[in-house]
Amino acid sequence: VMWQLWLCSGVFFSDERFPGAAKPFISALPLTALNDALRGVTNDAMTVGQVMPQLLNLAVWTVVAYAAGLRMFRWQ
């Protein structure tokens, strides 16, 4: 799972190199949002308000992963 995230999220390769049909899926990945937010803050001096879409994407992934974890894993 991690290898696909690294390849698709823009860590090593730009997401602009992927086909247009794959771009909506790539932009929804949590690592893509984190990379875009970090690059915006460090390279482009963006404020927290300007990277809010990426932060909201990360928040949605956090809530979904937490809910899935609560549902799937139980102490026996």
Q: 5-18: per-residue pLDDT in tens?
A: 788 888 888 878 88
pLDDT (0 to 100) of residue 21: 92
Report how far residue 20's alpha carbon sits from residue 38's, in angstroms, rounded to the nearest whole number.
Answer: 24
Model confidence at 3: pLDDT above 90? no
Q: Where are the alpha helices (DSSP H) in 1-76?
A: 2-8, 23-27, 30-44, 52-72
Q: 38-63: per-residue pLDDT in tens?
A: 999 999 999 999 999 999 999 999 99
